[in-house]
Copies of this chain bind each other. A is one copy, B any other.
Amino acid sequence: MLVTPLDRHLAVLLVRAPDGALERWALPWSLSERSDATLEDTAVRVARSALPSAPVWLEQTGAFADGRRHPGDVDLSVAFVGAVPVGTLSAPGEDAAWFPVSELQPLAPRQRAIVSAAVESVRLRLDYAPVAFRLLPPTFTLSDLQRVYEILIGHRLHKASFRRALHGASLVEATDEWRSEGRGRPAQLFRHAPKRRRARRRGVRFDLLP
């Protein structure tokens, strides 16, 4: 499953299902090829079949099976989430398109489950993996970065706090370039340059979801 930040929302890539299918759209998929390829290889291959380039981040979300069989007559699906940079076009041709997760097309039950798991997985890993940085070009403004974070997390962030935490973690490095984008004050460009890492062993958070 491929996601990208699109227009202030997280979007999922769907491909048009074959005519006989119950639903009109589906997640990109394929049967596993010869067994000497890793699962990840296969995931990359599926992604490239629907996109001009490979995803910049990829992670398995798990194996899914239900009573019924998948349209393709398989009874086990191994799902991956891949993230692709902002502005990546849905494949050449008209067989694929981005849809915001909040207003998805009707999908088969198993595919719904895969989408939910994928979104949750992205949000869980976000604090530990540099996903957001890879979705942006090599240099970016802090507002860009914050926007990507907000889209991935699913809610807005406090500007000053975001920057404080960001600089405190020594993750970005200022360049001497500025970008003026329509109206408003120009923004300084930064690049991703992680430095030290303080091993903050926090306590338990007890943020229980009931």
Contact residues in B for A207 (Cβ distance below 8 Å): 127-128, 169, 200
Complex Cα distance A171/B208, Å? 9
B206 near A169: Cβ-Cβ < 8 Å: yes
Choose the segment among A16-24, A34-42, A98-106, A134-142 that binds chain B (4+ C-beta atoms closer than 8 Å). Answer: A34-42
Cβ of A56 under 8 Å from chain B: no
Residue interface mask A43-81, B partner, CB < 8 A = 1: 000000000000000001111011101000001101000
Cβ of A185 under 8 Å from chain B: no
A166 near B206: Cβ-Cβ < 8 Å: yes
A208 near B63: Cβ-Cβ < 8 Å: no
Cβ of A194 under 8 Å from chain B: yes
A36 near B127: Cβ-Cβ < 8 Å: no
Residue tally, chain A, CB below 8 Å to B:
45
Q: Which of B75, B161, B204 contacts A149 (CB 8 A)?
A: B204
B-facing residues in A184-208 (Cβ within 8 Å): 194, 197, 200-201, 203-208
Cβ of A86 under 8 Å from chain B: no
B165 near A205: Cβ-Cβ < 8 Å: yes
Cβ of A155 under 8 Å from chain B: yes
Complex Cα distance A25/B66, Å? 31
Contact residues in B for A67 (Cβ distance below 8 Å): 36, 38
Which A residues have a C-beta under 8 Å from some C-beta of B? 35-36, 38-39, 60-63, 65-67, 69, 75-76, 78, 124, 126-130, 149, 153, 155, 157-158, 161-162, 165-166, 168-169, 171, 194, 197, 200-201, 203-210
